[in-house]
């Protein structure tokens, strides 16, 4: 049913024209537009009165006759009159009820739909002929013709052809041309011509390609846009933070923001850093388990630690060896080195230190065969019990007490409901699922959003989202104590994606941009604490929404688009 609003013609506005080769006349729209001689009739055109008035009449009629018939039914029951005996007025009321019900069933709400579609699809100040052209159906992406070649210099055109033919490797463009932007542009054009698929919609301009060379991404052809929202202020350890969150999930920022509001109203949250140490665990092999155990005892002997630390620490002025933990599997030995890394996340730093120690050990254990610099006992970018128990990166616990009044007014639920839900969902439910570090509602949501916004490694969200959420009624059961314990938050404020302009701006917003020269490592530790505080806010809000039965309603409101995405970009 077409319920779009008709637009009156605007003869006073000039209409741009183009020459059509098919009709040999000037037309007010492109020649490939499907032109209809007249607008499609609408169902509402058949009504003798305005649509909103017709709806109001039938709405009133329906409830009026329903009320009348109910009263008549009650009177017949009281007077013992058979219900099937009806008067002329009763019969008219029944017919009116059926007629109004049929109308409302088919047409009620049409005025709302009409106004909604009109707002979404029609610009009432635009030219009506152009609007009709814009309503043409979009062709499928697979049916679109290949994109037209970009206007390039003859030299660049030759390079594109060379890349397509395979004579020039795509990965070598930056080094050959000495211009990273030009290399990305040529590579992008070569990809479009090779695949015959358009990259329109994937931006090319707006990124400093020199800054990502050799550090963030290889063979770039553009960048993906992710919206960044702000949650907060988050009141943590007496300081306020506006938390940037990069996400495409509707409702996530709004929910975290509500949690921040509840925490703020109750005096804020407290975050405590428990441990700070990045790990790397190589795997080495010997001919016998006896020889592997000899190295294990050597590494775990406190008398040898200082010697090993000297070899390890020479890799960086920030790397400081903290501990060595060994585990054997037959004649294979896994050695987990843990060290501080300053304000860097530190994977490269600890790897260089491990390499130094392995070279040092070869003098006393020449039969040691180094299988790999990483033996997965670290454990990086994988869910692992060793990270859940021992920690990796920054280990943080964050807590807050939410008063009964705030739980009711801001979170729209009760303390007993939250405590019970947390026990059955986050604790018992996760245990039933066999969760590993996943005793929470959605810590990964907040961690990922903050990680992407601040230039962290998104893949390390896996272990960084290890979290157990605890809720307990306190103060005679009136208030709620909530805490999140996160043993392996892996973040840094220097290196990697943190030096990109957008991510650097988000770090600057939090006051943790770059390295802290006065207290090395304090910026990254503060960032980890902010991540835990944001998770606390997100956990509090989502659990409240579930307890109050608002989860589906909120997602339908904030996480559903009414736009017809098939028409975007056509």
Q: How do residues 341-373 score in pLDDT, each as one tens digit?
A: 999 999 999 999 999 999 999 999 999 999 999
Q: Which of 275, 331, 352, 381 is catalytic?
A: 381
3-state helix, strand, coil in the chain (%, to 5): 45, 15, 35
Quote the pLDDT of residue 49: 63
Annotation says 457 is catalytic: yes
Structure tokens at 509: 């917003």
- Give the architecture (CATH level 2) of 282-377: 2-Layer Sandwich (3.30)
558 pLDDT tier (thresholds 50, 70, 90): low
CA 317, CA 341: separation in Å to the nearest integer?
A: 9
Give the mean pLDDT of 399-406. Answer: 98
Quote the pLDDT of residue 89: 84
Q: Which of 121, 249, 399, 472 is catalytic?
A: 249
* Number of neighbours of residue 538 by Cβ within 10 angstroms: 32
Q: Which residue has better confidence, 524 or 214?
A: 524
269 pLDDT tier (thresholds 50, 70, 90): very high
> 17-26, 296-305, 491-500, 501-510: lowest mean pLDDT where?
17-26
Annotation says 442 is catalytic: no
Quote the pLDDT of residue 92: 86
- Is a pLDDT exceeding 80 seen at residue 148? no
Quote the pLDDT of residue 26: 40
> 115-129, 150-164, 245-259: lowest mean pLDDT where?
115-129
Give the mean pLDDT of 442-454. Answer: 98
122 pLDDT tier (thresholds 50, 70, 90): very low
Quote the pLDDT of residue 555: 62
Quote the pLDDT of residue 144: 52
Assign domain 228-276+391-558 to a CATH class.
alpha beta
Q: In terms of DSSP bridges, do strands 467-474 and 438-439 run parallel, antiparallel, or are they unpaired?
A: parallel
141 pLDDT tier (thresholds 50, 70, 90): very low
- Is a pLDDT exceeding 60 seen at residue 117? no
> 111-115, 168-172, 245-249, 420-424: lowest mean pLDDT where?
111-115
- Is a pLDDT exceeding 80 seen at residue 562? no
Q: Which residue has the tokens 């060290």?
A: 339
Q: What is the pLDDT of residues 39-83, one digit of tens each?
A: 444 555 555 667 667 777 877 888 888 888 888 888 878 877 787
Give the DSSP letter string of 27-58.
Answer: ESS-TTS---SSPPP-GGGG-SS-HHHHHHHH
The pTM of this model reads 0.73
Annotation says 143 is catalytic: no
Q: What is the pLDDT of residues 304-347, one digit of tens each?
A: 999 999 999 998 999 999 999 999 999 999 999 999 999 999 99
**Where are the domains positioned within the chain?**
154-211, 228-276+391-558, 282-377
Annotation says 75 is catalytic: no
Quote the pLDDT of residue 39: 47
Quote the pLDDT of residue 129: 37
State which H helix or E strand residue 265 sits in.
helix 252-265
- Is a pLDDT exceeding 60 seen at residue 557? yes
CA 315, CA 273: separation in Å to the nearest integer?
A: 26
Q: What is the pLDDT of residues 216-249, one digit of tens each?
A: 999 999 999 999 999 999 999 999 999 999 999 9
Phi, psi of 414 (to 5 degrees): -130, 160
Quote the pLDDT of residue 530: 98
Q: Which of 457, 463, 490, 539 is catalytic?
A: 457
Structure tokens at 266: 């109750």
State which H helix or E strand residue 65 sits in.
helix 51-78
Whole-number average pLDDT of the chain: 85
Quote the pLDDT of residue 559: 62
């Amino acid at each position: 049913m077409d319920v779009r609003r008709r637009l009156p013609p605007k003869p006073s506005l000039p209409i741009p024209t183009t020459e059509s080769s098919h009709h040999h006349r000037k037309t007010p729209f492109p020649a490939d537009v499907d032109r209809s001689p007249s607008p499609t009739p609408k169902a509402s055109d058949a009504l003798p009165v305005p649509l909103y008035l017709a709806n109001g009449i039938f709405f009133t009629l329906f409830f009026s006759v329903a009320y009348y018939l109910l009263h008549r039914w009650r009177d017949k029951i009281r007077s013992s009159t058979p219900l099937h005996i009806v008067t002329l007025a009763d019969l008219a009321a029944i017919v009116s009820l059926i007629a109004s019900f049929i109308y409302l069933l088919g047409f009620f709400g049409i005025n709302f739909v009409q106004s909604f579609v009109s707002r979404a699809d029609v610009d009432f100040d635009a030219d009506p002929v152009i609007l009709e052209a814009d309503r043409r159906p979009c062709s499928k992406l697979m049916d679109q013709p290949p994109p037209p070649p970009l206007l390039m210099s003859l030299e660049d055109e030759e390079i594109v052809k060379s890349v397509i033919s395979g004579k020039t490797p795509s990965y070598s463009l930056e080094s050959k041309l000495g211009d990273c932007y030009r290399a990305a542009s040529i590579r992008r054009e070569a990809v479009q011509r090779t695949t015959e698929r358009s990259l329109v919609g994937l931006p090319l301009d707006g990124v400093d390609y020199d800054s990502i060379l050799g550090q963030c991404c290889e063979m770039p052809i553009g960048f993906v846009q992710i919206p960044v929202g702000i949650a907060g202020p988050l009141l943590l350890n007496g300081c306020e933070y506006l938390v940037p969150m990069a996400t495409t999930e509707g409702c996530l920022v709004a929910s975290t923001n509500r949690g921040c509001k509840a925490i703020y109203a109750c005096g804020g949250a407290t975050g405590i850093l428990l441990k700070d140490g990045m790990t790397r665990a190589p795997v080495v092999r010997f001919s016998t388990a006896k020889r592997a155990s000899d190295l294990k005892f050597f590494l775990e002997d406190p008398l040898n630690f200082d010697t090993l630390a000297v070899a390890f620490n020479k890799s960086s002025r920030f790397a400081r060896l903290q501990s060595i933990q060994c585990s054997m599997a037959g004649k294979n030995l896994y050695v987990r080195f843990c060290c501080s890394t300053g304000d860097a996340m530190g994977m490269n730093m600890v790897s260089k230190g491990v390499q130094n120690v392995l070279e040092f050990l070869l003098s006393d254990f020449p039969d040691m065969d180094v299988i790999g610099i990483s033996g997965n006992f670290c454990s990086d970018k994988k869910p692992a019990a060793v990270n859940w128990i021992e920690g990796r990166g920054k280990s943080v616990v964050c807590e807050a007490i939410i008063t009964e009044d705030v739980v009711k007014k801001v979170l729209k639920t009760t303390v007993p409901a939250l405590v019970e839900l947390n026990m059955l969902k986050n604790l018992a439910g996760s245990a039933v699922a066999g969760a590993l570090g996943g005793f929470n509602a959605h810590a990964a949501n907040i961690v990922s959003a903050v990680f992407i916004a601040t230039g962290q490694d998104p893949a390390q969200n896996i272990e960084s989202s290890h979290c157990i959420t605890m809720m307990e009624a306190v103060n005679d059961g009136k208030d709620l104590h909530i805490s999140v314990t996160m043993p392996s938050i892996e973040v840094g404020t220097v290196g990697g994606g943190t030096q990109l302009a957008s991510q650097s701006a988000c770090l600057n917003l939090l006051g943790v941009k770059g390295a802290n020269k006065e207290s090395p490592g304090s910026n990254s530790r503060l960032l980890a604490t902010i991540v835990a505080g944001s998770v606390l806010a997100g956990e509090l809000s989502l659990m409240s929404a579930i307890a109050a039965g608002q989860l589906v309603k909120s997602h339908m409101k904030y996480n559903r688009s009414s736009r017809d995405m098939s028409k975007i970009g056509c």
